[in-house]
Amino acid sequence: MTLHYPVVVVKEGEEFWAYVPDLPGVYGRGKSEDNARNDLVEALKLYIEDCRADGEPPPQSDAKVISISEVSVPA
């Protein structure tokens, strides 16, 4: 079985962070977008392994990426 999750990647300073909005606390980081995504995949594998060890099915996402944008707000 293959699970699919939408992923958000952001750059903060010199680091990239990748996370799954459906799974708070599961994230990856790295010096490049690819590094952050790879780190996230490893974190997801561990999370899913923990779910199975607890006898629970891994969560599935119903979320779909609709758009990617940035907003500006007066400071």
65 class by beta-carbon count within 10 Å (0-12 exposed, 13-18 middle, 19+ buried): exposed
pLDDT tens digit string along 55-69?
999 998 888 888 888
48's tokens: 């899913």
Per the prediction, the chain carries an average pLDDT of: 93
pLDDT tens digit string along 12-26?
999 999 999 889 999
Task: Give the whole-number percent of the chain exceeding pLDDT 70.
Answer: 100
Question: What's the whole-model pTM score?
Answer: 0.84
d(CA 13, CA 3): 31
d(CA 43, CA 74): 36
1's tokens: 């079985």
Is residue 6 within 8 Å of residue 61, measured between CB atoms?
Answer: yes
Q: Please state the domain extents for the chain.
A: 8-53
